[in-house]
Amino acid sequence: MSLFDKFQPIVDIRAELAKLGVMPFGAVTEKLLSATEAIVNGHKVILAGTNNYLGLTFDPQCIAAAKQAVEEQGTGTTGSRMANGTFAEHIKLEQELGAFFDRRHTIVFSTGYAATMGMASTLAGPGDVIVLDADSHASIYDGVRMSGAEVIRFRHSDPADLEKRLRRLGERTANTLIIVEGIYSMLGDQAPLADIAAVKREYGGMLLVDEAHSLGMLGAHGRGVAEAAGVEADVDFVVGTFSKSLGAIGGYCVSNHPELEAIRFGIRSYIFTASPSPSVIASTRVALRLMQERPELRERLWNNAQRLYDGLEQLGFQVSPQVSPVVAVTIKDRNQAIAWWQELLQRGAYVNLVMPPASPTSDSLLRCSVSAAHSPEQIDRIIDAFAALQPAGMAAAD
């Protein structure tokens, strides 16, 4: 036995892809032309897999703020938040996020992964219980494994199954953390949060919602699925990322529980990593403001999502269960998915190829994510690239 034996399946897949001349994982963006176009693996493409939902990565105000921060505060903090890494701007961003979410306490993390994994690994511990949606993100699973708590999965977006599992716990629900996402990243489906919140109210426990893919998209203020469902009061902790709608990198947790201020000093992914660089904090603060000042971005995003969803559905592809900025095409044959990913790239559309175990089922996905920065013409060109895969339509759904 070797330490490397367990990696042999990955080695085999990489060798197989190399023979085909396909590089779907770690595709190289050689030059960014705009928020929606780039040169990827030698092809000029429309970017349809970047999660740049509001298209703010090239916003002049965000860029100007980042430049100014670099000039005035340097390229990095070179320390953790508990050492020398807390700058005044970190505190301001926490205050602004708290005001946006109408929550009294906020923690800013260096990445969204660190935020979600850190909260999942810290809130519950030995003797406690975590009940999570089976399709939760890898960062959630990594966190709950580290927590030492008993971990119970319930069927994806199934409030009845959640209720059954909480009922079995009895009095232990007082020490139970329930974890779900707002919009799930692979298929773009929304959690039935109103029903999940009702179950939580009946049986107890605390509820953590990951709004990574729903920030800026749903709710009267853009706070996500919890706001849209009218159940923010039932959500104890909201976590998310700056790397989607806010076009940067970093993460956050907001809560009305004053204990969050003490909890931050027990989160290893907060304590033992360098704090976000000044340029990232500066651009994120501006993007957060612009997200609130420009509701037309959300309208444009949803128009583009509907246009792409309808176009792919009309072609006969098996698309996501509901319209969202994530539009995924399900393909049962892995080799077909690989071949189509490569052909889409050659035809000028960059999408994400997702294969098991990253996909939620044994099927593969061609996962698209749309942006407010996409023009209707660009959306149509993405649809045209998929249409060129014909007789793709009905074959994709078989």
The candidate with the shortest Cα–Cα distance to 250, out of 138, 118, 139, 112, is: 112
pLDDT for the residue 397: 46
Active site residue 185: yes
Provide the 3-class DSSP secondary structure of residue 107.
strand
DSSP string, 240-268: EESSSTTSS--EEEEES-TTHHHHGGG-H
What distance in Å separates the CA atoms of residue 72 and residue 278, rounded to the nearest whole number? 9
- Whole-number mean pLDDT of the chain? 95
What distance in Å separates the CA atoms of residue 172 and residue 254, rounded to the nearest whole number? 25
pLDDT for the residue 218: 96
CATH of 77-276, one of 3.40.50.300, 3.30.360.10, 3.40.640.10, 1.20.120.430: 3.40.640.10
> Which has the minimum average pLDDT: 11-15, 75-79, 313-317?
11-15
Q: What is the pLDDT of residues 34-54, one digit of tens each?
A: 999 999 999 999 999 999 999
Give the strand order in the sheet containing 43-47: 29-32, 37-40, 43-47, 349-350
Provide the 3-class DSSP secondary structure of residue 350.
strand
Q: What is the pLDDT of residues 214-223, one digit of tens each?
A: 999 999 999 9
Cα dihedral 357, 324, 113, 211 in deg (nearest 10): -130
Set 90, 200, 213, 374: catalytic member:
213
Q: What is the mean pLDDT of residues 209-218?
A: 96
Q: What is the mean pLDDT of residues 84-99?
A: 98
pLDDT at 343 over 60: yes
Set 139, 185, 245, 324: catalytic member:
185
Q: What is the mean pLDDT of residues 56-63?
A: 98
Domain spans, the chain:
5-58+295-397, 77-276
Question: Between these two residues, 14 and 153, which has the higher pLDDT value?
Answer: 153
pTM of the model: 0.94
CA 56 to chain centre: 16
Q: Which amino acid is at 129?
A: V
pLDDT at 398 over 60: no
Set 90, 105, 200, 244: catalytic member:
244
pLDDT at 319 over 60: yes
Burial of 341 (0-12, 13-18, 19+ CB in 10 A): buried
What distance in Å separates the CA atoms of residue 223 and residue 343, rounded to the nearest whole number? 37
What distance in Å separates the CA atoms of residue 24 and residue 341, rounded to the nearest whole number? 7
pLDDT band at residue 390 under the 50/70/90 scheme:
low
What distance in Å separates the CA atoms of residue 398 and residue 393, rounded to the nearest whole number? 9
Place of tokens 């965000």: 62
Active site residue 369: no
Q: What is the CATH number of domain 5-58+295-397?
A: 3.90.1150.10
Active site residue 244: yes
Reading the block at residue 292, the tokens are: 């609130």
pLDDT for the residue 396: 47
pLDDT at 392 over 70: no
Q: What is the pLDDT of residues 269-292, one digit of tens each?
A: 999 999 999 999 999 999 999 999
Reading the block at residue 389, the tokens are: 């895969």
pLDDT for the residue 395: 46
